[in-house]
Structure 1
Amino acid sequence: MKQIVVYGDSVSFGMIPGSRDRYPFDKRWPGVLENSLNAEGASVRVIENCLAGRKTSWDDPFRPGRNGAQGLSEVIELNSPTALVLISLGTNDFQATHDIKSWGSAQGVAKLVDIVRQAPIEPGMPRPEILILAPADIVEPKGENIVKFEGAPARCKGLVEALKAVAEIKCVHFFDTNSVTGASEVDGIHHDDVQHVKIGKALAPVIRRIIGS
């Protein structure tokens, strides 16, 4: 069995738009991905490490533990051997607490790639492949996200291109979730259950090519 680690935020956590509830495993995209791969004859386990509010490399002034660069090395170490790490972060970099733009967020992801590669795994264990996921564009935050993500649509412009450039420079894999679906119309940040299914199923063939059958 091959292990896949999803390192993400509330979007990958499966936060139900407009609520504080969570979709069950088989409804959120990491679960859809695992079930799709195994239904096709693969033997994989998708490990979710997805924390609401997690940023790429910055502290949250109100909630501890949201700096994605802190603790990632240990996540890789404790889940080794791992075939693939999916880095699914960036959305929370554009919260109103920081004046981060797309280049800065992409550099935060680049830092995470380096941390994965330098993690102190046991001698002889393989280094995991890395896949950067570009999150859905923030177009129009709604509900409580209007204030929380004030100015985010403008600041996140160009993130997909910036993340793709990082993936090319770092020689890692890249997938743009915007090619499958956007953010939920309910809150402008998360995904509804249909969108989760689309992402999970679209990722399945991509990941089969990366990790093999």
Structure 2
Amino acid sequence: MSRTLLCYGDSNTHGTMPMESLGALGRFAHRHRWPRLLAELLPGWEVIAEGHPGRTTVHDDPVEGEHRNGRKALAAILESHRPVNLVLLMLGTNDLKHRFGVTASDIASGLERLVRMIRASGCGPMGGAPEVLVVAPPPIRETGVLAPVFAGGAAKSQQLGAEIGAMAARTGAAFLDLQGVIEVSPVDGIHYEAAAAEVLAQFFADKIRALD
């Protein structure tokens, strides 16, 4: 029986290319997006890429729009794809934007709210709870055109792995930390280069198989 994996993330799930100018809309071809490569490594799974550039955990973005609030979109997306066996939740990078003024601990708390929403959704098999795999994104750099937007975020991002890992432990969610696995692009300090897709796909596939 086929199982469903929902990849709920931001621009790095969407496949956004590193940005050399503000407003750039480049997106990697399907073969260079990690959800597509992950699907090839997981026969028997339907892998749904649900990545929205700019998506936060729980914050309305006063500049880019309240529709980027991951909490507000989550319930509808879960219901549209149910039954969902597993949600791969990879958010937090956009919360590092200077405009939000939150700590790494705050970001982990935002993710915890999403984990609890997923568990309470009734969108798993037979109306149960989907399993959750929480992924801590790699540390960012303050470089390129996005440096002013993420001012002060690099130091906070170094703490995300520990904070998100502790949250996953207390909620019983599976956890992966991307620090040391991949690095952000030196072009804009936020997005990933094409080569990261294969690394991520294999890393995620190994963990998902281990969850069975």
Alignment of 1:133-212 (within 5 A): 133-138=135-140, 140-210=141-211, 212=212
Q: Using the alignment, how far apart are the partners of 1:93 and 1:85 within structure 2?
A: 20
**1:46 is matched with which residue?**
47
**1:121 is matched with which residue?**
123
Q: Cα offset for 1:120?
A: 4.1
Q: Cα offset for 1:90?
A: 0.2
SS at match of 1:179: coil
SS at match of 1:185: coil
Q: Using the alignment, how far apart are the partners of 1:87 and 1:154 within structure 2?
A: 22
Q: Cα offset for 1:74?
A: 1.8
Alignment of 1:21-170 (within 5 A): 21-37=26-42, 42-62=43-63, 63-121=65-123, 124-138=126-140, 140-170=141-171
Q: Using the alignment, how far apart are the partners of 2:110 and 2:117 within structure 1?
A: 11
CA contact (8 A) 2:12 2:191 kept: yes
List alignment gaps of at least 5 residues for structure 1: none
Taking structure 1 as reference, are residues 125 and 184 closer, same or farther at Cα in structure 2, changes over 3 Å only?
A: same
Stretches of 4+ aligned residues off by more than 4 angstroms = none
Q: Using the alignment, how far apart are the partners of 1:141 and 1:21 within structure 2?
A: 20
Aligned length: 206
Q: Cα offset for 1:209?
A: 2.0
Q: Cα offset for 1:123?
A: 8.4
Q: How big is the alpha-carbon RMSD for the aligned residues of Structure 1 and Structure 2?
A: 1.5
Percent of aligned positions that are identical: 32
Q: Report which stretch shifted further, 18-27 or 125-134.
A: 18-27
TM (norm. structure 1) is 0.91
Q: Using the alignment, how far apart are the partners of 1:207 and 1:141 within structure 2?
A: 32
SS at match of 2:123: coil
